[in-house]
Chains A and B, each alone.
Chain A
């Protein structure tokens, strides 16, 4: 029954936006977006709000960050310039991360001292990535975005996870910084202590992650979590929560570059932020006990198609 409801929700979502999807194909013949919405300016923000609301529900059910879904899907299905989609995408990821962070920090799931050095590295990358992203040609952005999305899909499919990685001894840097901690694992009813290693490698990887997040306006949870969990050896729960918190800092840095370059328009960004935040809140309540496997598969297929579409349109094939 739940599976049926989820599939119905997905079908309804895509049927509702059928006309908009179809209109994407008209972009080449219509001179402006104004012609597409036929003078009814409110159609666009309302469509974005409803679309991102459902995207928020789906992203929660699939366990995939809303930011990473927003850019490829909205740039594929809405006739909005890629810069404005990326600007809005960063704000979607940022507002979601900011909203979740206070609770995660208070509960001790996100770790501030782990996040501070990693965020600093990621922010340096994001600053350059955002600047580079805004200077590249649209076709090149589409090709690189498509390649990145296909890569992210592969990470979602093949990346391994480790609930509680074994780190026998923290490395010198992490010991100097005093990074580590304890948390109570409710499922096992035990307190788990954790330390980290390979800090230098992780700092370097976070520069690359920040660069990609800034360049494409994507939330970077898909990359943060594997680096925190598999490279540094942070327990999965702490890695997921700290990743969300790191996003709030990295995306702030990148968002400023977009804000300063007129690449953030309230009429696109605010309905997207509101829709996503409301959608994720409803998603948590409605789909809390639903098995996410099916919906995750659907979302990964959708993301893969959006990535391939972006790649092909950038290459001028479609």
Chain B
């Protein structure tokens, strides 16, 4: 019940359009849409430069397992842990 209610609360964005989300099973396909892939250590990298690891909004490298999402032009990656999300909501680094 509570979970369903929470699902009806929109995350603040610049519009009232529906949001795009993805299941954990399709993470690699989502990365491909963003021109990203993973290296031999399962860290997310640029598809066109496998030595270029992407960074989260607070400057950390990020693995496929940690990948929780992305914002603003596919360059700002978000980890799926509560510490990162708290920082995200407060604009902290």
Same complex:
no
Q: Which residues of A contact B (CB under 8 A)?
A: none
